[in-house]
Amino acid sequence: ESEIRVMTKSSTVDLVTKTDERVEKIIIGSLKEEFGEGTFIGEESVAKGEPCILTDKPTWIIDPVDGTTNFVHGFPFVAVSIAFAVNKELEFGVVYSCLEDKMYKARRGKGAFCDDEPIQVSDVKDINKSIIISEHGTDRSPEKVTKIFSTMQKILCIPVHGLRGSGTAATNMCLVATGAVEAFFEIGIHCWDIAAGAVIVKEAGGILLDVDGGPFDLMSRRMISANNETIAKRIIKEIEIFPVVRDDAP
Ligand code: IPD
């Protein structure tokens, strides 16, 4: 397409394009064709008012374009993320990093793969030898931005080797899974950004936690994924938590 028509959602920096909507329709259509009617939680369907509640029913959780801002600007990290949950447990996840042309996938108990090669998290335990990813998200209220930057400053000054961010949560999680970085955390992400990545990180030997150190909750809009507990807990010490509305809030 010569021109991408950009629309906004929750804020003026929360972008969506016709491509997001089209890709989601194509994915849901082909899943229905292949596997019959099912339950779907898709980023753009939810934006249009569909429910975002994870039940025990077999459920597909879809982000058609993760990294929409990158897509709009031509910043070369964009992913498609598809996960499948049964009884509220994630069974498998697939992340396709479109411009790198890399297909990441994992199934519960069966390991994680990138283009059919097994992948594993890094074995770094020393926070001073780590690279950490976080993102700024799409909420620009000054109090939240201050907390995000304060957290980043503290982490940078631990010190760590570096702070990064690809602009797509799904790709960030795959970077944890391959061992390119030690951890990725964010407050403000949605279930469709991280559902597939969660299976991939776990199956690559990593862990997922809430940003307060409690158990990971897919619908809470906050999480840290890391190569191991030592790194995760060290980062958690620095995270300044701010409130977000859950994905499944009524
Ligand atoms: C966004 C990306 C980004 C993250 C945002 C997400 P989207 O997803 O994953 O990395 O910081 O919180 O909303 O909107 O491009 O699908």
**H or E element in which residue 147 lies:** helix 142-156
Confidence of residue 37 (pLDDT cuts 50, 70, 90): confident
43 lines ligand 1 (CB under 6 A): yes
135 lines ligand 1 (CB under 6 A): yes
63 lines ligand 1 (CB under 6 A): yes
Residue 229 labeled ligand binder:
no
Going from the Cα of 234 to the center of ligand 1, the distance in angstroms, rounded, reads 24
CA 240, chain centre distance (Å): 19
Q: What's the pLDDT at 3?
A: 63
**H or E element in which residue 121 lies:** none
pLDDT digits (tens, 9 = 90+) for 133-181: 999 999 999 999 999 999 999 999 999 999 999 999 999 999 999 999 9
Q: Report yes or no: 227 and 122 within 8 Å, Cβ to Cβ.
A: yes
Nearest to 99 by CA among 122, 131, 61, 66: 66
Q: Are strands 131-134 and 162-164 parallel, antiparallel or unpaired?
A: parallel
Does the structure's ipTM exceed the value 0.90? Answer: yes
Q: What's the pLDDT at 191?
A: 98
Average pLDDT (184-206) is 98
Q: What's the pLDDT at 4?
A: 78
DSSP 184-241: EEEES--HHHHHHHHHHHHHTT-EEE-TTSSB--TTSSEEEEESSHHHHHHHHTT---
Q: What's the pLDDT at 225?
A: 99
Residue 210 labeled ligand binder:
no
pLDDT digits (tens, 9 = 90+) for 78-120: 999 999 999 999 999 999 999 999 999 999 999 999 999 999 9
Q: Is the pLDDT of residue 2 over 90?
A: no
Q: Domain-by-domain residue ranges, the chain? A: 6-118, 127-236
Q: Give CA–CA dist 206/175, Å, rounded.
A: 11
Going from the Cα of 197 to the center of ligand 1, the distance in angstroms, rounded, reads 13
First to last CA, the chain: 37
CATH classification (class only), 127-236: alpha beta
User: Matching CATH topology for 6-118 and 127-236?
Assistant: no
CA 60, chain centre distance (Å): 15
Helix, strand or coil for residue 88? coil
134 lines ligand 1 (CB under 6 A): no
Residues of the chain with pLDDT > 90, as a percent, come to 95
Query: What's the CATH architecture for 6-118?
Result: 2-Layer Sandwich (3.30)
Q: Report yes or no: 81 and 93 within 8 Å, Cβ to Cβ.
A: yes
Confidence of residue 38 (pLDDT cuts 50, 70, 90): confident
Residue 193 labeled ligand binder:
yes
pLDDT digits (tens, 9 = 90+) for 208-233: 999 999 999 999 999 999 999 999 99
Average pLDDT (8-32) is 94
φ, ψ (nearest 5 deg) of residue 78: -140, 140
Helix runs in 15-59, H state only: 18-35, 43-47
44 lines ligand 1 (CB under 6 A): no
Q: Give CA–CA dist 92/73, Å, rounded.
A: 30
